[in-house]
A and B are shown apart, each in its own frame.
Chain A
Amino acid sequence: MNPTAHKTDLQFPTDMDLDGTRPLLEVRNLRTSFFGRGEEVRAVDDVSFSLKTGETLGLVGESGCGKSVTALSILRLVPEPQGKILGGEVWLDGVDLLSLPDEGIRAVRGSQIGMIFQEPMTSLNPVLSIGRQLTETLEIHLGMTKHAAKDRAAELLNMVGIPDATSRLLDYPHQLSGGQRQRVMIAIALSCDPKLIIADEATTALDVTIQAQILELLARLTDDLGTALMIITHNLGVVARYADRVNVMYAGKIRESGSADEIYDTPRHPYTVGLLDSVPRLDRPKGSRLKSIEGEIPDLANLPTGCAYRPRCTYAVDRCAAENPPLAKVGDSHASACWEWPRLAEEQGQTVVS
């Protein structure tokens, strides 16, 4: 059960993180597919990455590129029987989550890994009071008495900035605003002091000012508690501000991985460049048109040969159709899955670090 025993077959991003500290979460060669109508949809295809204690990781990409399924696979919540984790390992603090029995993974969910879902409107049970839903996690994992759990629940609500916590415990979800509900979700995720919090599009459904508040809160709390945070989003602005490291996903694979600075300042994959170009920026000349990536995300059941991004890529060459580029080192802690990254780098007028 010791992850170091697997060092020999470590894939690239994991190798790079070896600066003495063992990562908190290591995902290796994770493959998750959905089956239906005789087709296999490879939602997560050979994904490897790692996350250190207290670190914030951004997982970025368009809708349908496998971000959420990656998160669900880590907790083994992929909807069955259509979805299946076909292979790989997920090591959390020396334990392979994918080989745990059902009771084992249930003990991890909520206590070691907290999850925050996208829709605060629907992720709370409408017929149970906020207090009941907050104390449930405490009851399951810490075996707290009702009274103690209630006190702790009020404390948690206070922590996430809901005033008058004790009386709010009796409220039902429909009595709370979207932002407040997401705060409650954060409180539930944090209640057992987990090592990792996965925020799956946690702010997408909220309006912009509330988004900022919620992210600020999440970042501050995980910082204070030393919790690692995985932000899944399609919003590059969110990632730029809060993430230490960024993984860019496309069609079930990680296409580029690096520190937030590297990804933003020196992107080495045409897809990342495309994503960055499609973000409105204040420093662009006035009146210039916003660029978008041509085409649309390919059908995951019928991927093009070679690189899945090839049909939309302006840098595509013949080799891209023949061979799928592996994730290869392009900087200190920076990797890109593109054959043509040196050309991309040159075009951007930057020196290539090899």
Chain B
Amino acid sequence: MRDRVTENEPYTGDDVKVASSSRTFVAQNFTKWYWGLRGFARQRPVSAFWLAISVFLILMAIFAPLIAPHEPNKPDFLNIKTEPNRSDIFGTDQLGRDYFSRTIFGARVSLLIAFTSVALGTAIGGVLGILGGYLGGTFDLISQRFLEVLMAVPGLLLAIILVLSMGAGASAVIIAIAVTRLPTTSRVLRAETMSIKETQYIDSARSIGASPLRVMIVHVAPQTVASFIVIFTASLGTAILTEASLGFLGLGIAPPTATWGGMLGEAAVTLIPDWWMVLFPGMFITLTVLAFNLFGDGLRDVLDPRARGRI
């Protein structure tokens, strides 16, 4: 069934074009985006569902002040650790703060940190990868050895070390998570660049007098956009997990700011934590990671012409 749809679906070519066009998207390519999304929804309905969840979570984070019924950081000592009820549908924490509002505001921190750190990490990693793959030689050698050192240390451990050395705070967390994203991105884009470099259109670009920088920006980079998008999406899940782990360990954003990891950490202080204090932040972490990862998987299947037709 799926195979048939895949074979007869002519949109995928356009979809690649959508992904790699360098023009300003929204206005000019509205129709293209519409058809791209429609095709994606048809070909990968499950991934499209998770895309919808992702979008929902992002909107929730953006409009948190409008959605949250209470101040997320306002203690209410008369209602400490109340079970979910009509006014506090996720219950309250040890300071009587509304758990629902905190969870919604927690999405802001998680998503903001995840997006900025992943954007930073994959962008720098991508640039290193393309430069190394295209130029080769000493630059490639040195940058790759440096990244291999990073790769040798487990991501969370690396992030902990970096946060500890920089001191807790939003920027430290962002930089720490970004660094853990460097090796993968640069490895993938480097390999891709090396194969693109051997194609004839790179020769023909050089034969019209394009400088190495120009060849990389105009001819190599747009080809890697598909991989880049997939790495970006897949990295989001990991970044959210790392951020939550750091928050849980008390190395994330300082209290009283609500973060999912931090909320779990506060709940875990008690010997037997109250179920709602663990369930809701945990559920949202799981949901977000799942949403980004499964959407990323579907995106990879659609954008990678070699994987097409496989499930």
B79 adjacent to chain A (CB < 8 Å): no
B206 adjacent to chain A (CB < 8 Å): yes
Do the beta carbons of A127 and B209 come within 8 Å of each other?
no
Give the residue name and chain of the A residue nearest to B13 (CB).
A174
Chain B residues near A140 (CB-CB < 8 A): 208-210, 214
**Contact pattern, B 223-255, Cβ under 8 Å of A = 1, otherwise 0:** 100000000000000000000000000000000
Chain A residues near B211 (CB-CB < 8 A): 103, 106
Do the beta carbons of B209 and A106 come within 8 Å of each other?
yes
Q: Separation in Å of the A149 CB from the closest CB of chain B?
A: 13
Q: Separation in Å of the B17 CB from the closest CB of chain A?
A: 7
**Residue among B204, B210, B214, B222 facing the most chain A CB atoms (10 A cut-off):** B204
Number of A-B contacts (CB under 8 A): 68
Do the beta carbons of A125 and B219 come within 8 Å of each other?
yes
Q: Separation in Å of the A103 CB from the closest CB of chain B?
A: 8
Asked whether A188 and B20 contact (CB < 8 A) given A117-B200, A127-B223, the answer is no
Q: Separation in Å of the A57 CB from the closest CB of chain B?
A: 18
Chain A residues near B200 (CB-CB < 8 A): 117-119, 122-123
Do the beta carbons of B199 and A137 come within 8 Å of each other?
no
**Contact pattern, B 180-209, Cβ under 8 Å of A = 1, otherwise 0:** 000000000000000000011101111111
Asked whether A123 and B17 contact (CB < 8 A) given A107-B209, A128-B218, A140-B214, the answer is no
In the complex, what distance in Å separates the CA atom of A282 from the CA atom of B104? Answer: 84
Give the residue name and chain of the A residue nearest to B19 (CB).
A127
Total residues of chain A contacting the partner, CB 8 A: 29
Do the beta carbons of A172 and B17 come within 8 Å of each other?
yes
Chain A residues near B205 (CB-CB < 8 A): 125, 136
A258 adjacent to chain B (CB < 8 Å): no
Asked whether A123 and B203 contact (CB < 8 A) given A128-B218, A128-B222, the answer is yes
Q: Separation in Å of the A87 CB from the closest CB of chain B?
A: 22
Do the beta carbons of B201 and A123 come within 8 Å of each other?
yes
Do the beta carbons of A185 and B209 come within 8 Å of each other?
no
Do the beta carbons of A141 and B209 come within 8 Å of each other?
yes
Total residues of chain B contacting the partner, CB 8 A: 22
A109 adjacent to chain B (CB < 8 Å): yes
List CB contacts (< 8 Å) of A171-206 with chain B. Answer: 172, 174, 185, 188
Asked whether A127 and B17 contact (CB < 8 A) given A122-B199, A136-B218, the answer is yes
Chain B residues near A128 (CB-CB < 8 A): 218-219, 222
Q: Separation in Å of the A146 CB from the closest CB of chain B?
A: 12
In the complex, what distance in Å separates the CA atom of A124 from the CA atom of B202? Answer: 9
In the complex, what distance in Å separates the CA atom of A123 from the CA atom of B206? Answer: 11
A75 adjacent to chain B (CB < 8 Å): yes
Do the beta carbons of B222 and A136 come within 8 Å of each other?
no
Do the beta carbons of B206 and A109 come within 8 Å of each other?
yes
Give the residue name and chain of the A residue nearest to B205 (CB).
A125
In the complex, what distance in Å separates the CA atom of A218 from the CA atom of B130? Answer: 36
Chain B residues near A115 (CB-CB < 8 A): 204, 207-208
Q: Separation in Å of the A171 CB from the closest CB of chain B?
A: 12
Chain A residues near B199 (CB-CB < 8 A): 122
Chain B residues near A75 (CB-CB < 8 A): 207
A77 adjacent to chain B (CB < 8 Å): yes
In the complex, what distance in Å separates the CA atom of A115 from the CA atom of B210? Answer: 13
In the complex, what distance in Å separates the CA atom of A137 from the CA atom of B208? Answer: 6
- From A110, A114, A124, A127, B222 is in contact (CB under 8 Å) with A127
In the complex, what distance in Å separates the CA atom of A185 from the CA atom of B208? Answer: 11
Q: Separation in Å of the B15 CB from the closest CB of chain A?
A: 12
Give the residue name and chain of the A residue nearest to B136 (CB).
A81
Do the beta carbons of A122 and B209 come within 8 Å of each other?
no
Asked whether A117 and B204 contact (CB < 8 A) given A136-B218, A140-B209, A140-B210, the answer is yes
Interface residues of B (CB under 8 A from A): 13, 16-17, 20-21, 199-201, 203-211, 214, 218-219, 222-223
Top 7 A-B pairs ranked by shortest CB distance?
A: A110-B208, A109-B209, A110-B209, A115-B207, A122-B200, A125-B201, A123-B204
Contacts A77-B206, A122-B201 known; 15 new A-B pairs at CB < 8 A: A106-B209, A110-B208, A114-B207, A117-B200, A117-B203, A122-B199, A124-B204, A127-B16, A127-B20, A127-B223, A128-B219, A136-B205, A137-B208, A140-B214, A141-B209
Interface residues of A (CB under 8 A from B): 75, 77, 103, 106-111, 114-115, 117-119, 122-128, 136-137, 140-141, 172, 174, 185, 188
